[in-house]
Structure 1
Amino acid sequence: MGASSDERDPPRVTAIGAAAVDEWYAVSNLPEPDGGAYASEVETAPGGVGANVAVGLDRLGRDVGLVSRVGDDEYGDLARSWLAESGVDGSRVTVGDDPTTRSVILSAPDGERAIVTAGESFRELRLDPTTLESIVESEVVFLTAYTPDRVARAVLDRVLDAPEADRPALVFDLSGPVEELAGRGTEPETVHGYLHRADLFVAGGVAAPAYFGGVDAAVDRLSAVRTRSVGPAVLTHGADGMTVIADGEATRVDAFEVDVVDTTGAGDAFLAGLIDRLLLADGGSTEESAGGTLVDAARFASAVAAINCTERFTQTGLPTREEVRRFLAERDADLR
């Protein structure tokens, strides 16, 4: 008989985030206010930031588990069945009475999209003591700003209470603007805690200006806060690349140009690549060991995101490590 979920060794990476269902509409255009659009295709696919990052790391060959909550409904059944088809440990995905988190995604011909999310299941996530201890025993812990504030605070407090030598690396993704997070995600005060204490802080091109007051203000603030003693930060700008910040210095890194099919989940794919390249060692491999420069890690992550954009949906387009190697080799990128 196999070990129970409570007896398993914690995965190297624990992702905390939604395992959601994406209802994907291929629309003629993204409608303006009071405007309309025509959907030529409608598909259902796995999604959710937490599940996307976890599956992205699994595709890269990492040992990863997901902490999430779904509803006891057909959407929840779908989310769990998709997760079971991956190598992600879903033993910490609980089932509740609230509707499963799901998103309606309008995807335009140029790959740009608009997203509306509904469902209370992940918003009602709570951590029991056993789950919390398992989380902090991982090597890396990833949280999205859509994580309920009580959960984000509990993880931050528990990690900071641990002896420094035993603490996991904390990765926080400021993945939504303040007004969208209000009442359902991580509150500004807790975001502030992660800004100053997370080992890696990532902010999206929409979320960062809303939180910091503008792109330039975000770069200035992150450069002031993310010093050598704290850790790096990355500010993403979509197709315009990213700004990486380490030791108080900001460097712009270009994105890769590809034929875009769908940008949904590109940021989540980027996060998986960044965590893989920057924070996880490979048991002595000199080619792909962790600890390279932040720019190297950002380019690797950018390649993961670029490949993801060439396929429909998020999880179906997440690449393997070999696919990323080939992509970078074709562009004469240095993987060392």
Structure 2
Amino acid sequence: MSETTVCPKPPKVVVVGSANVDQVFRVVSIPAPGETVMSMGTTTARGGKGQNQAVAAARAGASTTLICAVGDDEFGRLTRDGLSRDGIDTALVRTVDAPTGTALIAVDDSGENTIIVDAGANAALIGLTNADTTALRAADVLVIQLEIPLDTVSAAARIGRAGNTTVILNAAPIQDLPAGLLADVDILVVNEHEAAHLSRGSSGRLDDSDGAAGNVDALAPVVIVTQGKQGAVLHERGSNSIQVAAPRVTSADATGAGDTFCGALAAALAEGMRVETAVRFAVVAASLSVQRAGAVPSIPQRVTIDEALSTGNLGPDSA
């Protein structure tokens, strides 16, 4: 009798979140209130935090499912087709009686951006079906954010926790969170402003002077504070914090970098990487993404991330 080789199941990530179509305007500088500036060009591409994170997880090597809502319109079809091309399971994508979410994004010459989001169909992602629940319980990692109704976010976290799924919450756009939601979160990913808000810091930055650093460990067992071009700080409850530096690169567009970080982090954790190693993997993925314009178009493939990690070469200005 010949031996049967059993292949390990691929790491599975489920993302519950938003799906938008981004309309991006390139400008010399972000307009101030009351100011009109001329665009140097516009592009239309897929976006939304949920979709971005699902694409990042899939391109980083995870078997990925996205639970989201889109409209029965051109942007909805664009979203479904794009997800399928990235190998993402779309069986749980809902079509609702609302337009697909859209975002208007201005990106300046330094790569900084401002974003205005119309939730559209994302606001109709209410409640989770039996099929959704089955998918959540089967996942290695669940990723949620705050561009969909908070009740749905909380329900997904609760189901994931009950199924022993690792629950990652990216608390953006920032808002006050119910204690019950944080209790179901294993890993909280926030930027400095979001961390200070949740920790009731006063300065908007996470540092010892306003007490935020002393409170961040209480938010979740693992808190990761992203710091843009500085990288990220890993806080594990009961351990010293670890600074994970980002390589130096020239930023063309920061849109979607945080989402790339979250999706890559989820994929790395799903395949069994230690948290610190997964954070380093995610920092490199985000550093690669900022060198290209757009959200989804900038998200790197796994082979590119692995090459950058092994060689340290992230582009002409990496160091």
TM over 0.5: yes
The aligned residue for residue 200 of structure 1 is 187
Cα separation, 2, equivalents of 1:174 and 1:219: 17
- Residue deviations 1:70-103, cap 9 Å, x none? 1122221221222122100011111111121110
Cα separation, 2, equivalents of 1:10 and 1:322: 16
The structure 2 residue matched to 1:295, chosen from 276, 279, 284, is 276
Name the stretch that deviates more: 240-249 or 266-275: 240-249
SS of equivalent to 2:173: coil
What displacement does 1:241 show? 2.1
Letter in 2 for 1:39: S
The structure 1 residue matched to 2:234, chosen from 244, 249, 259, is 244
- Residue deviations 1:210-246, cap 9 Å, x none? 33233234432222454xxxx3210112122221101
TM-score normalised by L of structure 2? 0.86
Cα separation, 2, equivalents of 1:156 and 1:57: 18
Contact 1:29 1:38 in 2 (8 A): no
After superposition, residues 241-280 of structure 1 pair within 5 angstroms as 241-248=231-238, 249-277=240-268, 279-280=269-270
The structure 2 residue matched to 1:188, chosen from 167, 177, 180, is 177
Distance 1:299 1:159, change over 3 A: closer
Cα separation, 2, equivalents of 1:322 and 1:200: 26
Letter in 1 for 2:244: V
Cα separation, 2, equivalents of 1:128 and 1:64: 18
Cα separation, 2, equivalents of 1:52 and 1:233: 21
Report % sequence identity. Answer: 27
The aligned residue for residue 213 of structure 1 is 200
The answer for unaligned runs of 5 or more in structure 2 is: 1-8, 315-319
Name the stretch that deviates more: 10-19 or 195-204: 10-19
Letter in 1 for 2:131: T
What displacement does 1:312 show? 1.0
What displacement does 1:247 show? 3.0
TM-score normalised by L of structure 1? 0.82
- Residue deviations 1:272-302, cap 9 Å, x none? 221222x222xxxxxxxx242x332222111
The aligned residue for residue 68 of structure 2 is 68
1:171 and 2:172 correspond: no
Letter in 2 for 1:256: P
The aligned residue for residue 37 of structure 1 is 37
Cα separation, 1, equivalents of 2:253 and 2:78: 22
Contact 1:223 1:250 in 2 (8 A): no
After superposition, residues 1-336 of structure 1 pair within 5 angstroms as 12-126=12-126, 127-160=128-161, 162=162, 166-178=163-175, 188-189=177-178, 192-214=179-201, 215-216=206-207, 217-226=211-220, 231-248=221-238, 249-277=240-268, 279-281=269-271, 290-292=272-274, 294-331=275-312
SS of equivalent to 1:235: strand
Name the stretch that deviates more: 126-135 or 304-313: 126-135
Contact 2:136 2:159 in 1 (8 A): no
The answer for unaligned runs of 5 or more in structure 1 is: 1-8, 179-186, 282-289
What displacement does 1:332 show? 8.5
Q: Which runs of 4+ in 1 moved over 4 A?
A: none
Letter in 2 for 1:177: I
Letter in 2 for 1:223: D
Name the stretch that deviates more: 317-326 or 91-100: 317-326
Q: CA RMSD in A?
A: 2.2
Cα separation, 1, equivalents of 2:103 and 2:182: 27
Cα separation, 1, equivalents of 2:159 and 2:130: 10
Cα separation, 1, equivalents of 2:76 and 2:10: 24
Cα separation, 2, equivalents of 1:225 and 1:104: 32
Greater relative contact order, per chain length (Cα 8 Å cut-off, separation 6+): 2
Cα separation, 2, equivalents of 1:241 and 1:80: 32
Contact 2:27 2:39 in 1 (8 A): yes
Q: How many residues align?
A: 297
